[in-house]
């Protein structure tokens, strides 16, 4: 006896509809994300953006030294930063005026470094190659207080930008809503369709019964024998 062939998923019409809608919605979401990233890249001169990764790693290395002063710990991440950028420079200033610095700040940025308390955000990229004056400025907080950090940035590739955008909370939220919302909508719609189909079938059946009764009554009134029906 040949065993029955199992149909690959999805088996039912409802499952196929859910699968097709999910594929469509996720494809549209992916297309929107790629289009948005491409727009960001193309809108930026040169097709690249500045990444704050080295500055973020330097900020994570800020510690309070034995004498109570701020120091930059020699972490593994900082080792990677110095390996990629031998002339890496960085300065951080907290709201109490305490500073910690590593490397030599370029002369064109010394005025900025002396007024960090008045700034909150900036991305700077020069027109040179390999862009020796890339810089980022951010506001960050940790256990040691609130800081304004300013330091050397690096170029962000398009693939890195796409990866970073794909981790955005809004994109994840939209994907979850799509995965959860499409089956719920399809299931609810199928229940409504089933109820409507049952109502229509009941109405049709009752209409046929009424028509049959009317037909018999008309035949009886006309005197046609029932044996000829």
DSSP string, 87-120: T--EEEEETTS-EEEESPPPGGGHHHHTTGGG--
Count of CB atoms situated within 10 Å of the CB of 147: 23
pLDDT tens string 49-100:
788 889 999 999 999 988 889 999 999 999 999 999 999 999 999 999 999 9
pLDDT of res. 125: 80
pLDDT of res. 90: 96
Cα angle 159, 164, 168 (rounded to 5 degrees) comes to 145
Phi first, then psi: what are they for 115, rounded to 5°? -130, 35
pLDDT of res. 218: 57
Is residue 6 helix, strand or coil?
coil
pLDDT of res. 59: 95
pTM listed for this prediction: 0.58
pLDDT of res. 156: 73
**Residue segments in the chain with a per-residue pLDDT below the cut of 50:** 1, 45, 47
Q: In terms of residues, how long is the chain?
A: 229
- Count Cα atoms within 13 angstroms, Cβ side, for 94: 16
């Amino acid at each position: 006896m040949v065993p029955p062939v199992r149909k690959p998923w999805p088996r039912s019409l409802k499952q196929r509809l859910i699968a097709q809608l999910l594929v469509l919605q996720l494809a549209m979401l992916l297309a929107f994300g790629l289009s948005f990233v491409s727009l960001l890249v193309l809108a930026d001169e040169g097709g690249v953006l500045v990444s704050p990764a080295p500055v973020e790693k330097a900020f994570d290395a800020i510690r309070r030294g034995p004498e109570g002063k701020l120091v930059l710990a020699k972490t593994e991440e900082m080792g990677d930063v110095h390996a990629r950028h031998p002339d890496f420079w960085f300065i951080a200033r907290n709201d109490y005026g305490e500073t910690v610095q590593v490397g030599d700040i370029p002369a064109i940025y010394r005025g900025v470094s002396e007024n960090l308390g008045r700034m909150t955000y900036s991305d700077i990229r020069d027109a040179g190659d390999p862009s020796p004056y890339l810089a980022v400025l951010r506001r960050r907080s940790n256990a040691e207080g609130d800081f304004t950090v300013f330091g050397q940035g690096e170029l962000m590739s398009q693939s890195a930008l796409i990866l970073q955008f794909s981790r955005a909370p809004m994109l994840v939220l939209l994907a979850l809503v799509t995965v959860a919302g499409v089956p719920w909508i399809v299931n609810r719609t199928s229940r409504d369709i089933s109820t409507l189909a049952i109502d229509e079938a009941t109405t049709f059946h009752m209409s046929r019964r009424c028509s049959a009764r009317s037909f018999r009554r008309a035949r009886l009134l006309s005197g046609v024998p029932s044996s000829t029906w």
